[in-house]
Amino acid sequence: MTDTAGTGALPVEGVPAARVLDEIRALRAADRPTHGGRLFAYVYDPGVAGLDELAQAAHAESAHVNGLDPTAFPSLLAMENAVVGAAARLLGGGPGTSAPDVVGSVTSGGTESLILAVKAARDARPDLAEPRIVVPVSGHAAFAKAAHYLRVALDPVPVDPVTLRPAVADVAAAIRPETVLVVASAPSYAHGVVDPVAEIAAVAAAAGVRCHVDACFGGWTLPWLRRLGTSVPPFDFAVPGVTSISVDLHKYAYAPKGVSVLLHRDAGLRAPQFFAYADWPGYTMVNPVIASTRSGGPIAAAYATLRHLGEDGYLRLAALTRDAVAGLADAVRAVDGLRLLAEPESTVVCFTADDPGLDLFVLVDELTARGWHTQPQLAYAGLPASVHLTVTAAVAPRVAEFGPALAEAVVAARAAGPVQLPPELLALAGSLTPEALTPDLIAGLAAGLGLGAGPADRMAAVNTLLEAAPVRLRERLLVEFVGLLQRPTW
């Protein structure tokens, strides 16, 4: 690099295109592999040749189109409506169904869809000074975020430690006169289990409360799995009382990131989701979603992906995924000391360790060292620590390699033994209050744990420390640690 180019994002003299791309590729080399079926979180890879190129080309066609004004860019409106229609049809809505009037919007992701579902429910009840939502603890953390952003109180419902589902009676008991929304997951992200949606929707309806089904993760797989013969409980608009459903196209519809769909049973239910403002001198503003300016890129890419894969493509990918799930679950069952936390019923494999000599966080690191990237989940509310695998179609050709790799990693993790943090550090984690954390203490902790010193390949010590901390301290440590990473480069 010349001096004038520097390494910053804004060099004095512009850098030639080819070199800029080389630089990005060099940076990307440190990333986890987004393709190839060895990363079991964050990415959704169908392993379909040519699909990336199609999505990229479609994205480029519409990247500069602005969803701010659907009348100015009818192309985007047409694609958005087509995508929403496809999602609605897949999820039990549309002409000829019991939910013929389903409407929806494309959002930037699952979190935005959930925030908007909560906003619509809250704003439909302006009479309530202190609105509340009922969410099983297995519900996605984005509901807590929505509650926080929107100043809605969160009433968590415990899940059974064996079934990992909430008891319907507990959901019913949590509903109060101020409740504006009851949530069910299909399935939960952490464990991949489908909540008893029909029963939950029934108690919500009986109380006159909306019921949102978070199918962000599973909405684009469960219908195909059902068509393939897997037993899938009712979870969509065919269930009376379900008022809204979210489904992320950037997950199992295999579209590039930035696309989720939020559906409502009818336009009346959706209306309070919108924000319109005419009390200023600028353009007339109406936003169906949180963003105002919206790139057409992700919507066009999702539209192209859906049209190219088609129903037959998704069925084929779902069959591959189903078989991969079964293979990975068998690999887990074959290892002494490991136990499936839940029998897989969707596209998640989640396991725990019953053997105190086998530290799951060390196992995750050993798998990482062997090129298999899994996701550790901390012990919480009586549920043990676990390892989460999001399984996509691209995993299918890798399944045979996973079993031996897992067995080898388990041997290595047993040999390494559990993480031994200094007892005083563990005691500190157990007793500190978030308020007592000082910048020096945080910097010392981060340095002691080796955070920020290189690729995050050895995270067992960090996870052990976090697990030793009460929930509020966990949150604060996470904020502080990530704050240390998010520093401008000059």
Ligand X SMILES: Cc1ncc(COP(=O)(O)O)c(C=O)c1O
- In the complex, the smallest distance separating the C-beta of residue 293 from ligand X, rounded to whole angstroms, is 19
- In the complex, the smallest distance separating the C-beta of residue 218 from ligand X, rounded to whole angstroms, is 7
Using CB under 6 A, list all residues that contact ligand X: 109-111, 114, 140, 142, 185, 189, 214, 216-217, 248, 260
Strands (E), 64-176: 103-107, 132-136, 153-157
Taking alpha carbons only, the member of 148, 137, 223 closest to residue 183 is 137
Length of the chain: 490
Residue among 250 and 414 whose Cβ is closer to ligand X: 250
Residue among 111 and 377 whose Cβ is closer to ligand X: 111
Q: Are 341 and 384 in contact (CB under 8 A)?
A: yes
Residue among 214 and 345 whose Cβ is closer to ligand X: 214
Residue among 140 and 458 whose Cβ is closer to ligand X: 140
| DSSP calls for 305-324 | HHHHHHHHHHHHHHHHHHHH
- In the complex, the smallest distance separating the C-beta of residue 152 from ligand X, rounded to whole angstroms, is 17
Residue among 245 and 331 whose Cβ is closer to ligand X: 245
Residue tagged 């990333």 (tokens):
31
Q: What angle do CA 266, 268, 274 make, to 5 degrees?
A: 105
Residue among 109 and 313 whose Cβ is closer to ligand X: 109
Determine the Cα–Cα distance for residues 472 and 475; give it in Å rounded to an integer: 5
Residue among 140 and 270 whose Cβ is closer to ligand X: 140
Residue among 114 and 396 whose Cβ is closer to ligand X: 114
- In the complex, the smallest distance separating the C-beta of residue 150 from ligand X, rounded to whole angstroms, is 16
- In the complex, the smallest distance separating the C-beta of residue 254 from ligand X, rounded to whole angstroms, is 14
- In the complex, the smallest distance separating the C-beta of residue 195 from ligand X, rounded to whole angstroms, is 11
Q: Are 370 and 355 in contact (CB under 8 A)?
A: no
Neighbouring CB atoms inside 10 A of 167's CB total 16
- In the complex, the smallest distance separating the C-beta of residue 187 from ligand X, rounded to whole angstroms, is 7
- In the complex, the smallest distance separating the C-beta of residue 280 from ligand X, rounded to whole angstroms, is 30
Residue among 215 and 394 whose Cβ is closer to ligand X: 215
The helix (run of H) or strand (run of E) holding residue 275 is strand 275-277
Give CA 181 to chain center in angstroms: 20
Which residue has its beta carbon closest to ligand X? 110
- In the complex, the smallest distance separating the C-beta of residue 100 from ligand X, rounded to whole angstroms, is 26
Taking alpha carbons only, the member of 188, 86, 194 closest to residue 138 is 188
Neighbouring CB atoms inside 10 A of 144's CB total 16
Q: Are 395 and 329 in contact (CB under 8 A)?
A: no
Determine the Cα–Cα distance for residues 486 and 346; give it in Å rounded to an integer: 35
Residue among 214 and 467 whose Cβ is closer to ligand X: 214
Determine the Cα–Cα distance for residues 393 and 323; give it in Å rounded to an integer: 9
| Phi, psi for residue 443 in degrees, rounded to 5 | -60, -40
Parallel/antiparallel/unpaired status of strands 386-390 and 285-287: unpaired
Residue 247 in tokens: 């489904």
- In the complex, the smallest distance separating the C-beta of residue 217 from ligand X, rounded to whole angstroms, is 4
Q: Are 396 and 322 in contact (CB under 8 A)?
A: no
Residue among 185 and 386 whose Cβ is closer to ligand X: 185
Determine the Cα–Cα distance for residues 223 and 313; give it in Å rounded to an integer: 13
The shares of helix, strand and coil residues in the chain, as percent rounded to the nearest 5, are 45, 15, 45
- In the complex, the smallest distance separating the C-beta of residue 235 from ligand X, rounded to whole angstroms, is 12
Residue tagged 């799951």 (tokens):
360
CA distances from 58 to 79, 86, 298, 308 (A): 11, 18, 9, 11
